Structure 1
Amino acid sequence: MFFHFPVNPIDSLTINRSKKFETVDLINFGEVDFSSPCGKKIKEISFNTILPGRPDSFCRYLDIHKAEDTIKKLEQWMEQKEPIRLVITRLNINELVIISELPEDIRAGESDDKYITLTFRVYREPKIESLPVISNGSKQVQLKNNRPKRNSASGGYIVKPGDTLYKIAKSKLGKGSKWKIIYNKNKNVIGKNPNIVYPGMRLII
């Protein structure tokens, strides 16, 4: 089905093109724009026109539809899932579009005439890429543990009643004489006297 607007756009026709980017607000610096490496924003086309209640000298043709019927048809096109084709010959516009906005203005003394503003968004077919599925047949795949090995002696330790740094060093490091290593790592927790540790202290070994 084709529909020709009976009246050309009033005042102007707007084509909105905008760049896709992300704005990040950095502390002590302000906003910074980062351009998107791929993708773009949808182009919008909008214009104002009038749907006259009866034929007039400014109409492009005289066999016009009722304004109410035209608005109902535009509403149907706006609600449908399929895009429609917008053709504006003088501007070489021939695009699949969807109607995103359709405000209507009824002015005093012109109840038969409908002033509308149409906004179209150029339709883009979404492209979904499929990743190939790799089949390994009946072969068994062994997963390797790539996590770094951790020294069992390293980590944290919670002091228990009766513990001393010498006793902890002997238990965790293999030699009691290594108590200074533990003390040097935990001076801020133990304090100035290495001979006193309290149950519940969390030490780094």
Structure 2
Amino acid sequence: MDVILTEVENGKSKFIFPSLPEEVKGTNRTNYQSYDILSCGEVKIPKGMKLTEISFDGIFFGESKKNESIVKQWVKPAECEKILKNWQEKGTVLRLMVTETNVNIDVTISSFECTDYGGYGNKKYSVEFVQYRSLKVYTTDELKIVKFVKKTVTRPAAAAPSNKGSYTVKPGNTLWSIARKFYGGSGTIWTKIYNANKSVIESTAKKRGYANSDNGHWIFPGTVLVIPN
């Protein structure tokens, strides 16, 4: 299992936590609209979901501890702190992925604390993430605002093709990032691409020595994918 952060914009800047936290906490809350009704008291009506929040604590181990079994890939604690603080200050949109779990979500860092800990150069940290949702700007047509819209003559649209075409996987790509590219900035329907290309994704993973692709987690440069509508 790995906890991985990747910059969404370029897909190349990546940070793998050197050691795993003991626990990853996720919070999903329903958003309610409250009404005070004389005969019933307070009534709450569900109005969609609030943004998902994920948090965990851990330790960045110092150099004298880098050979401990819990350390998977040692990075200097000061460098770990620098990377996360930089992303937090810039409000960088990141992909948070915890392999072997269903955590695969675009986030920003809402809180990050890091302090020296023990006598081995360790740093204890606490980090919190909040789900990122892109702001969509709607057109007047989408909002059905026609009073002040200039009328134009439009030609019938050509019949939609059976799919959006094809895409050749590049280094650093994930199905999530490919979905964002073709589906208006949303990566949540990456399964649509996986289902349309399941046979080629799985066969390629096996050729690379994997038992399977872990439901599309492992994709490889050069693989040609069909992008469905």
Report the counterpart of residue 48 of structure 1 in structure 2.
57
Report the counterpart of residue 14 of structure 2 in structure 1.
2
Q: Over alpha carbons, which structure has the higher Rg?
A: 1
Q: How does 1:146-157 map to 2 (within 5 A)?
A: none
Residues 103, 134 of structure 1: CA spacing in aligned structure 2 closer, same or farther, 3 A cutoff?
A: same
Q: 2:75 aligns with which of 65, 69, 91?
A: 65
Residues 88, 136 of structure 1: CA spacing in aligned structure 2 closer, same or farther, 3 A cutoff?
A: closer
- Give 5+ residue unaligned stretches, structure 2: 1-12, 142-147, 153-229
CA displacement at 1:77 relative to structure 2: 0.6
Aligned positions, number: 131
Q: 1:86 aligns with which of 84, 93, 96?
A: 96
Residue deviations 1:136-161, cap 9 Å, x none?
79xxxxxxxxxxxxxxxxxxxxxxxx
Letter aligned with residue 127 of structure 2: L
TM-score by length of 2: 0.51
Report the counterpart of residue 120 of structure 1 in structure 2.
129
More strand by share: 2
Give RMSD over aligned pairs: 2.4
**Percent of residue pairs identical:** 27
Instruction: Please give the alpha-carbon distance, in whole angstroms, between the structure 2 residues aligned to 1:95 and 1:136.
Output: 41
Residues 131, 116 of structure 1: CA spacing in aligned structure 2 closer, same or farther, 3 A cutoff?
A: same
**Runs of at least 4 residues of structure 1 off by over 4 A?**
25-29
Q: 1:130 aligns with which of 139, 150, 153?
A: 139
CA displacement at 1:73 relative to structure 2: 0.9
Residue deviations 1:148-175, cap 9 Å, x none?
xxxxxxxxxxxxxxxxxxxxxxxxxxxx
Contact 2:140 2:149 in 1 (8 A): no
Q: 1:22 aligns with which of 27, 33, 52?
A: 33
TM-score by length of 1: 0.56
Instruction: Please give the alpha-carbon distance, in whole angstroms, between the structure 1 residues aligned to 2:120 and 2:136.
Output: 46
Instruction: Please give the alpha-carbon distance, in whole angstroms, between the structure 2 residues aligned to 1:81 and 1:106.
Output: 24
Contact 2:91 2:109 in 1 (8 A): no
CA displacement at 1:13 relative to structure 2: 1.0
SS at match of 1:102: strand
